[in-house]
Amino acid sequence: MAGHQTTREEPTVNKAELVSAISKRADVPATTVDSVIAALGEEFVEALTRGDKIALPGLLTLERGSRSARTGRNPQTGESIEIAASNTAKLTAGSNLKKAAAAVPVK
């Protein structure tokens, strides 16, 4: 994508690290945090299935989006192909996440 670069050097926080950090910050057992994260994931899936929008102000908004059927092009052959309509998960960063990202110096 033009103008969009992703580096592989950026650290990734895995689930175990996230559970540990939240456990310490909230002063609750890691097993409780793990259960809450699992339940949150299940609720996100169920909400998208129902067509519900989840809004956590300042953090994120999650909703089901849709893509219309369209004509695409096979990049190897240049042949036109029909792409079926589909649903997608749309996650939008909230104001606090946007501010945090903007505050990081550009490399």
Work out how many domains the chain is built from and give that number: 2
Which residues span the domain enclosing 31?
Answer: 13-52
Contacts of residue 74, defined as CB under 8 A and 6 or more positions apart, other chains included, come to 80, 81
Spatial separation of the C-alpha atoms in residues 101 and 33, rounded to whole Å: 25
Query: Is 48 part of a structural domain of the chain?
Result: yes
Query: Is 72 part of a structural domain of the chain?
Result: yes
Spatial separation of the C-alpha atoms in residues 86 and 57, rounded to whole Å: 27
Query: Is 1 part of a structural domain of the chain?
Result: no
Q: Kindly report the pTM of this predicted structure.
A: 0.76
| pLDDT tens figures, 34-89 | 999 999 999 999 999 999 999 999 999 999 999 999 999 999 999 999 999 999 99
SS3 17: helix
Spatial separation of the C-alpha atoms in residues 21 and 27, rounded to whole Å: 10
Residues 73 and 89 in one domain: yes
